[in-house]
Structure 1
């Protein structure tokens, strides 16, 4: 699969939907926000799982600005999930949202989950979780378990988890997730692998995971994608984004 071959969004005659999902740590929009918006728009996502969304003073204003600049809508998260946030195109019908605050370890940053059930077309339902796990190994492992406890959502058996894991694939928290979910990069690699850092990509600590039944059509860092310049990727934030194309089957009403 070449960079130009990532499938575009569409709804199939059988009711299944091809969905483009982007996972992106945006470092509270402290870098070049114009470059950030260009990268997101060029990826043409249906869903964006954001990590490190603005979460302090007037955070809703900044979330709204990012949504407007990228032709997306705010779905859930931000300060209410302690950083993770979900944006979506008008193609997605929002059926359910919930922001989850995870247990706080004294002295450490509070973590949370932004979750939503989105419908594409008449019946292709997808449970989406945006996460940003702890820097501390023990807490990170526990958070991975708490995340898995929320799957599957009662509204659909089909789930995707996307986020900054603060851990490489060989780590035990990463492996805890792949014991239940499929690592989309491993299932169908596309683009580049490493997500950190933009100036010297050398590790994959950001990932997309899919449940059984969700077909991965391609997943990776969109370096070289038309409209995504290396300069913008370096300027937008301190992580590289992960873009996945997923086929979500129809779910009986």
Structure 2
């Protein structure tokens, strides 16, 4: 889908270790779908080399997005597991924040500042925990990060694992990050939950947001693709920022769809706590 003029394209996607519903590991098809959307900034969750050579990541490295920062949350003798941030601009002031909680699976947030062609951008990429108690603590930590760079626009993106429309993550970050995408992304075959999101620190930054239903052939999550427009510097005259959120997974016509706050998230029981060595992740 063409992007609005003057915007940056962000993409976040939980790629489920590169394994699709056919149970086949194939990062080439993952990379091909990503390349089709040509993101400037890409956050990928569940990158997994365990039991394979690190060379399997070649399709992702071949995207030529430029700069790469990773957070390896699990490292074992036969590989590693975690999430990563790709950017067309060098990452400055990179900080890896340990968000792990007690005996739950390790979690790390990637925080950086990017010097984009439209101005600086404070960016945080995440993959939050499955349990309510750990997400509550992680959300408070993210809210503090969101307010840590005054004068610089902030965006957070990733898999927030927030199962409810009015969950702890949304409530904790609403003041610092008032705008977010509202697209159903999980499970990919019949999306019902809005786990994967992009949060923006200024109302109107989000110029467009959509998903790609063809991604259900690659992963158990659909991606979120968001076009953002950074606010003009103080004193500069800028056109009004308008937002449009399109969920292609639920709208073949590409029309606007209702806000996630129009109806409650489909609520189910919280999943069992994940063991740090397990290969079953969300």
**TM-score bin, normalised by smaller chain:** 0.7 to 0.9
Determine the structure 1 residue equivalent to 2:85: 86
Count the aligned residue pairs. 222
Structure 2 unmatched runs, 5+: 20-24, 75-80, 235-282
Task: Name the counterpart of 1:103.
Answer: 100
Determine the C-alpha separation between the residues in 2 that align with 1:111 and 1:55.
17
Q: Distance in 1 between matches of 2:150 and 2:52?
A: 33
Q: Unpaired segments of 5 or more residues in structure 1?
A: 11-17, 187-192, 224-229
| In structure 1, distance between residues paired with 2:49 and 2:39 | 23
Match of 1:49 in 2: 43
Larger Rg: 1 or 2? Answer: 2
- Report which of the two has the higher share of helix: 1
1:72 aligns with 65
Q: Which residue of 1 aligns with 2:30?
A: 36
In 1, Cα distance between equivalents of 2:145 and 2:49: 23
Further displaced range: 51-60 or 23-32: 51-60
Q: Which has the higher contact order (CA 8 A, sep 6+)?
A: 1
Give how far 1:63 is off: 4.6
1:19 and 2:14 are equivalent in the alignment = no
Deviations 1:32-87 (A, max 9, x none): 3122111111111000012222365778645554121x222342123169723101
Which of 166, 179, 182 is matched with 1:183 structurally?
A: 179
Residue of structure 2 equivalent to 1:248: 230
TM-score of the superposed pair, with normalisation by structure 2: 0.70
TM-score, length basis structure 1 = 0.77
Name the CA shift for 1:126/1:198 in 2 (closer, same or farther; >3 Å). Answer: same
| TM-align CA RMSD | 2.6
Alignment of 1:78-157 (within 5 A): 78-79=71-72, 83-89=82-88, 92-106=89-103, 108-121=104-117, 124-154=119-149, 157=152
Distance change in 2, residues 1:72/1:57 (3 Å): farther
